[in-house]
């Protein structure tokens, strides 16, 4: 995607009516182009390779291959910049959402999301940011805390590469705090916070804030339910 080209979107859902509705919403935007539709995860993987979208709007529960498997295949492709995956679900605490985020998805929305929020979420994800609401991020991580390792597990080597301030920022990211909120608590500028976040993402080799939050829980830096 270049600066002047529209965001290329692939719609993935096993319900044609929903795909039609999303297409109508997105095609009304001059900076978004729907390049295709897929009815299941297996088709989504094939269509992603063929159509090279920037963002894949991915349903979770589908026949043949679910959205988690499809997300893992798509984000793990050999492309230099694999497409961003924005997960859609009917339930705000769907068990599969955590697995999709861990598989590489960059965001999570409910299917009844208002049209303007859907459009903005696609733009946000295309820029490289995540769109999971902080409250939902924490609820999901807390709900499935039993899947994460014990807090007395060895500290991952990558965590030791972070500075004390970067660890502090990572903890706040895991709490679902925005850059503005982190800046206010640390009494620094948002630009400084963005620098810290960028540095810790690079050091931890994670794609975005969602992956960083999950890492914070999985590494034992943050204990689910303790924040």
- CATH number of domain containing 36: 3.40.50.2300
111 within 8 A of 60, measured Cβ to Cβ: no
Number of domains in the chain: 2
Is 115 part of any domain? yes
Same domain, yes or no, for 16 and 120? yes
Residue 148 placed within a domain: no
The strand pairing partners of 59, in sequence order, are 88
Q: Is residue 116 part of a domain?
A: yes
Please check whether residues 101 and 176 belong to one and the same domain: no
Structure confidence at residue 109 (pLDDT): 83
Examine the domain organization and report whether 98 and 27 are in the same domain: yes
176 and 93 in a single domain? The answer is no
Asked, for residue 146, whether it belongs to a domain, the answer is no
What's the pLDDT tens digit per position in 128-182? 877 765 555 656 666 655 555 555 555 567 788 999 999 999 999 887 787 888 9
Same domain, 16 and 117: yes
pLDDT, tens digit (0-9, with 9 covering 90-100), for 39-48: 999 999 999 9
Domain that holds residue 78: 7-132
Q: Same domain, yes or no, for 19 and 59?
A: yes
Q: CB of 117 within 8 A of CB of 72?
A: no
CATH of the domain at 165: 1.10.10.10
Q: Are residues 50 and 124 in the same domain?
A: yes
- 67 and 128 belong to one structural domain: yes
Q: Residue 150: inside a domain, yes or no?
A: no
Asked if residue 17 and residue 99 are part of one domain, the reply reads yes
**114 and 179 assigned to the same domain:** no
Same domain, 33 and 98: yes
Q: Decide: pTM greater than 0.75.
A: no
110/87 Cα distance (integer angstroms): 8
Instruction: Give the chain's residues under pLDDT 50.
Output: 227
- What burial class does residue 92 get, using C-beta atoms within 10 Å of its C-beta: 0-12 exposed, 13-18 middle, 19+ buried? middle
Q: Is residue 44 part of a domain?
A: yes
Q: Is residue 46 part of a domain?
A: yes
Domain co-membership, 173 together with 211: yes
81 occurs within a structural domain: yes
Residue 137 is predicted with a pLDDT of: 60
């Amino acid at each position: 995607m270049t600066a002047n080209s529209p965001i290329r979107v692939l719609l993935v859902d096993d319900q044609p009516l929903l795909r039609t509705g999303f297409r109508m919403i997105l095609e009304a935007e001059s900076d978004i182009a729907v390049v295709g539709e897929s009815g299941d995860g297996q088709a989504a993987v094939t269509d992603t390779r063929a159509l090279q979208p920037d963002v894949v709007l991915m349903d979770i529960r589908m026949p043949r291959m679910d959205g988690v498997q499809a997300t893992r295949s798509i984000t793990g492709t050999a492309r230099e910049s694999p497409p961003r995956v924005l997960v859609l679900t009917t339930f705000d605490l769907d068990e599969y959402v955590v697995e999709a985020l861990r598989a590489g998805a960059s965001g999570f929305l409910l299917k009844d999301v208002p049209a303007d929020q859907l459009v903005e979420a696609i733009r946000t994800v295309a820029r490289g940011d995540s769109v999971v609401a902080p409250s939902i991020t924490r609820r999901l991580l807390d709900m499935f805390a039993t899947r994460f390792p014990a807090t007395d597990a060895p500290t991952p080597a990558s965590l030791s590469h972070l500075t004390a301030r970067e660890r502090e920022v990572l903890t706040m990211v895991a709490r679902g705090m925005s850059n503005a909120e982190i800046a206010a608590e640390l009494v620094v500028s948002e630009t400084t916070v963005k620098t810290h976040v960028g540095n810790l993402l690079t050091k931890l080799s994670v794609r975005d804030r969602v992956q960083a939050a999950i890492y914070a829980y999985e590494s034992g830096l943050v204990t689910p339910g303790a924040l």
